[in-house]
Each structure stands twice: as C-alpha cells, then as structure tokens.
C-alpha cells in the first residue's frame, strides 16, 4: 500500500468541499435537524454564554457556529473557519441574512490556525477532527489558542457498526470499486470512534477533566431512495471513491446501496442508525 500523502489528502478535501459546498448548504435544514441534538450537546458541554469568544473549526456552511453566535449575544464573538472558501461563504451569507454582527468567517486550516494564543473561551469542532491527518498538531494548536480554563468540544462518529447510515454505503462502494480499507491511523469518518481514542487524543494534547457523551441521532428520511439522493449530493467523499469508474458503474453501485439500505424502511419511513461521541476537555 502506498504511503499516505497528507498534503494531497488535504488538497482533495479542499477541492471536494469547494465543489460540494452548495449541495451541503442546500440540504442544510435536513442536516441541522439530523444533528440538532449533537449541536445542543456541544454548546451545553462548552458552557457557552453571553460575552464568550468562540472559535468553530471546520464550520462548513455555518453550524454549530451560527447557533453559538445566538448564545454569546451582542457582547460575544464567533469566528467560523473552514479549509474550503466556497463552503464557508455560505456561513457568512447566512449570518448576514440574520443580521449577526458578532460573527466572522475566515478560510483556515484547522491543523494550523493562524490566531494569537489565549484568545478564545471555547473551541468547537463538529465532525471535523476525524478528517484531519495530524490530529495531535490540531489539538495542540487549539490548546494554544484557548484562554486558561477554556474548553474544547469535539464531535465525531462512533464505530462503523453503530453508523450504518454511512458505513453501509462505504462498504458497498469499497467492495465494488475494489478499494483497500483505510490503514490504521488514517483520517476518515470513523477514525476516532473506537473506545478511548478521542479521550486519549485530548489527554495527550494537554486537556484535562475530559467528559464524553454518546448521542444517538438516527437519520430519518421518507425512503431509502430519498436517503441515497441526500448522500449522493451532500457527501462528496462517496462519489470521490468512485471517480475512476464509468458513469454506468457508479449508477449500478448506487442502485446496490439503495437496495441494501431498504432494510431500514418501514411503514413509518426510513430510519438508519447514527451514533456520535461528543467530548469536552479543559485547558488548566
């Protein structure tokens, strides 16, 4: 297996989200309904309140940064950052539409935040750290940027078997596209989901009093077909894995994914398992 190229991987992530940012924004109401409990848990664990300065890493189209801005009020400040200039533009657009004057966006690599030390009360990262090649560097930099007694709150997916909404399409695509499984330690959706891995990462970066919570947020859709449309449009990583295949082969794979996912259909609609881990750590 070839050596993992972190720089190339990050460039691919940048290009992918620049391409798919509009679809992610378009599906925003679905995403925010799906992740609402995770976002609320993050904000609660961070203890965000009026006047706080909050940094959101890998903010995407704006959440949880926009929700944090509502909590900090006019006397607070939220900086939403992302590697992709296209997707973070949607966060800025939404903030402007809502008249938020305590909200700023900036294109930034989450592993290398160009920010002064001890400048934020809380840092949030929802489903971003698990895609970063150098998690220790990222967390160490976040530690530097936090003020004393500051909090970092990270949300990741747990194990693949608890997240069939994503692990099932990944399994089908890997098999049909003849792709090898990711090597241990490589970034990916479930790379921080095993027991103790996220806690250990926070401990090694210097954070103390780490607390974790498991949050179950099943993906609910009208049907498996609706789910597949959502995944095809919003999660560009799935399509990237099949980029070397013909259009006919890609369509065939998505048809197979839909057939497998139909096991989660019932008279009440489509419900696929999704489980997240939310962790908070404190800077002494």
In a domain, 228, yes or no: no
In a domain, 278, yes or no: yes
Instruction: Categorize the per-residue pLDDT at 1 as very low, low, confident or very high, splitting at 50, 70 and 90.
Output: very low
Phi then psi for residue 23, to 5 deg, are: -65, -40
* Those residues with Cβ within 8 angstroms of residue 42's Cβ, 6 or more apart along the chain or in another chain: 64, 124, 126, 153, 155, 278
Per the structure, how many domains does the chain have?
1
CATH of the domain at 36: 3.40.50.150
In a domain, 212, yes or no: yes
pTM beyond 0.75, yes or no: yes
Share of the chain above pLDDT 70, in %: 99
Helix (H/G/I), strand (E/B), else coil: 29 = helix
In a domain, 39, yes or no: yes
In a domain, 57, yes or no: yes
Under a CB-based contact definition with an 8 Å cutoff, are residues 279 and 211 in contact?
Answer: yes
CA torsion sign for 61, 64, 65, 67 is positive
Mean pLDDT of 28-36: 96
In a domain, 29, yes or no: yes
Query: Does position 3 have pLDDT exceeding 80, yes or no?
Result: no
In a domain, 240, yes or no: no
pLDDT of 153-186, one tens digit each? 999 999 999 999 999 999 999 999 999 888 888 9
| Whole-number pLDDT of residue 2 | 59
In a domain, 76, yes or no: yes
Q: Which residue range is the domain that position 15 belongs to?
A: 6-163+184-220+274-282
């Amino acid at each position: 297996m070839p050596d993992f190229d972190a720089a190339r991987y990050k460039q691919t992530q940048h290009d992918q989200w620049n391409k798919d940012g509009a679809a992610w924004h378009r599906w925003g109401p679905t995403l925010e309904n799906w992740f609402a409990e995770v976002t609320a848990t993050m904000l609660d664990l961070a203890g965000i309140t009026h006047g706080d300065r909050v940094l959101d890493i890998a903010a995407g189209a704006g959440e949880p940064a926009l929700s944090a801005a509502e909590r900090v009020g006019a006397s607070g400040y939220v900086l939403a950052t992302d590697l992709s200039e296209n997707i973070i533009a949607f966060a800025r657009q939404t903030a402007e539409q809502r008249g938020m004057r305590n909200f700023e966006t900036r294109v930034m690599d989450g592993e290398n935040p160009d920010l002064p030390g001890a400048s934020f009360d809380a840092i949030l990262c929802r489903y971003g750290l698990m895609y970063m090649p150098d998690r220790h560097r990222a967390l160490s930099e976040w530690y530097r940027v936090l003020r004393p007694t500051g909090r970092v709150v990270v949300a990741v997916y747990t194990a693949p078997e608890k997240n069939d909404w994503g692990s099932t399409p990944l399994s089908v695509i890997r098999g049909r596209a003849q792709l090898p499984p990711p090597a241990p330690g490589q970034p990916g959706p479930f790379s921080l989901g095993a027991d103790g891995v996220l806690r250990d990462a926070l401990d090694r970066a210097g954070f103390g009093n780490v607390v974790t919570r498991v949050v179950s947020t099943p993906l609910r859709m009208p049907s498996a077909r609706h789910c597949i449309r959502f995944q095809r449009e919003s999660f560009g990583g799935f399509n990237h894995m099949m980029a070397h295949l013909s259009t006919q082969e890609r369509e065939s794979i998505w048809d197979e994914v839909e057939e497998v996912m139909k096991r989660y259909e019932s008279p009440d609609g489509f419900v696929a398992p999704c489980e997240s881990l939310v962790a908070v750590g404190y800077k002494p």
